[in-house]
Structure 1
Amino acid sequence: MGCCSKPKTKWVCTDFKITLISATDLKGRKFSTTKVYAGVSICGGAEKQTPVDTENGTNPTLNFNAIWPIDDSDVQHYCSRVVIKLYWKRRFFGDRCIGQVDVPLKDLRDRAPKPYVEYHVSRGSKVKQGTLKFSYDFGVIRDTDEKPSYSLIKRAFDGVIAIVSVITCSAALDG
């Protein structure tokens, strides 16, 4: 190694795999068929969406798999979260969010392995909208030369900087 060459950085990565299985007892519409789909994201990243279940109404079968390569150190913090939103597919006025499940990746990593887990679907802080069943797995931890596509802590930090910038700009305009 010469005096001008930099040492290569190694990243510790893992794949987070999630399988959305089904939801039950969702609050549905009274006068038409409820068509439901879900969107999954990690820390506000791009949302991956399931196909729309047009047959099972308020008890949709989702059967959807998604995988994210993530920096393993991000899983050690409670700010790194998986968010699953359930939507009604509507012909007019756009789709409507029924509710969501928001779980820290750290809680999932620390939990004893099970074939699946169930969480209450919430809308707001108090209103329960049914139950969501999913399974998950953290893949083998590996070293790599490439930074994973999702560095969750950086995303969260960038979001805080953006919010602070907006507050600072609006305060400057008001002052």
Structure 2
Amino acid sequence: MEQRTLELNLTSAKDLKNVSYFSKMDVYAVVSLFGDPQNPQKLKTPVDRNGGTNPTWNFPLKFTVNESLARQNRLSLDITLRCQRAVAADKDLGQVHVPLRELIDQTGDGKSFQHVSYQVRKPSGRPKGALSFSYKFLEKFAAPATAPPPPAAAHKVEPPTNYPAPATGSTSAMYPTVYPPQPAQYAAGYGYPPVAPPQYTGGYGYPQSQTGYGYPAQSGYGYPTQTGYGYPPQVQNQRPGKNKFGMGLGAGLLGGALGGLLIGDMISDAGAYDAGYDAGGFDF
């Protein structure tokens, strides 16, 4: 990639807008090279405190220009004229925009400065004043090669602290030693824990029978169950799914009906008895 050095001599400006009504303006210029993102450049001139609306600098500036970008009309010089103020922020007076390809096309023999003048435009876009400067391009030169970044350091894997360090010179220094899990040790050499025999209880929290200790187990408690007296217990057949309330209600209704029938029969029997008595021959 070829580059060239641009030597610029910012001479003067005239007929600028007056923004200071009580004293002379203190004017300076800021020159920027735009279009090269890899090499942005910005320089400025000293402040002229005596020129007012017609400042003079005669200040030399140098820029490094990418020849290919300049030929493609992708580079430009932006020159901003400003008034320096003590209390408030500096105020822009105007700006000049110069394409570098235009300057290259106007270059003569390349050994002497070329004098040019451009119109100054206020921030509103209206023209006001003029800027003069001289320039020349030096011989082309190759851009210095950019050194590649240093390689990243290799990441060293450290063995975990809960494993013993490997012996010096071992090929497995980068990897920890994995030990197989040891089986659990139990008494009497069993590989598994011994299984206790099941304990059976007879329903009272004690084993059903014990032999060889104390007295023999006693069967039964209290008096034996008496059988053969009285009547056997009455078993009522209950239909599944019926509750006691339904059974009691049904039995009551049945008993009432039977009672009514019995009373009716007794009354009928009494009537028949009276009728027979009357039929017996007692006639008054």
Counterpart of 1:151 in structure 2 is none
The unaligned stretches of length 5 or more in structure 2 are 147-284
Contact 2:93 2:123 in 1 (8 A): no
1:21 lines up with 2:20 in the alignment = no
SS at match of 2:22: coil
Distance 2:124 2:73 in 1: 18
Give the aligned CA root-mean-square deviation in angstroms.
Answer: 1.8
Which range is displaced more, 125-134 or 11-20?
125-134
User: Is 1:130 matched up with 2:134?
Assistant: no
Residue 21 (structure 2) aligned to one of 16, 22, 30: 30
More strand by share: 1
Per the alignment, in what secondary structure is the counterpart of residue 18 of structure 1? strand
Alignment of 1:135-146 (within 5 A): 135-146=134-145
TM-score by length of 2: 0.45
Q: Which residue number in structure 2 is paired with residue 97 of structure 1?
A: 92
Match of 1:40 in 2: 31
Task: Give the superposition deviation at 1:74.
Answer: 1.3
Paired residue type of 2:132: K
Q: Which amino acid aligns with 1:30?
A: Y
Q: Deviations over 1:108-161 (max 9, x none)?
A: 1112546310000112464112000001111111224336xxxxxxxxxxxxxx
How far apart are 1:56 and its partner, in Å? 1.0
Partner of 1:66: 61
Relative to 1, partners in 2 of residues 1:130 and 1:82: Cα closer, same or farther, differing over 3 Å? same
Matched AA of 1:13: Q
Instruction: Name the CA distance, whole Å, in 2 between partners of 1:70 and 1:128.
Output: 28
State the AA in 1 paired with 2:136: D
Higher RCO (CA < 8 A, seq sep 6+) = 1
- Between the aligned residues of both structures, percent identity stands at 35
Tell me the alpha carbon deviations over residues 89-116 of structure 1, each in whole angstroms, 9 at most, x when there is no partner: 1111111110110111001111254631
Structure 1 unaligned residues grouped into runs of 5+: 1-10, 148-175
Distance across 2 between alignment mates of 1:106 and 1:129: 25
Q: State the secondary structure of the residue aligned to 1:140.
A: coil
User: 1:82 is matched with which residue?
Assistant: 77
The whole-number CA distance in structure 1 between the counterparts of 2:104 and 2:133 is: 14
Give the paired residue count.
137
Q: Which string of whole-angstrom CA distances, capped at 9 and with x for unpartnered residues, describes residues 21-78 of structure 1?
A: 0001111132221110001110073421111000111100011111112221111122
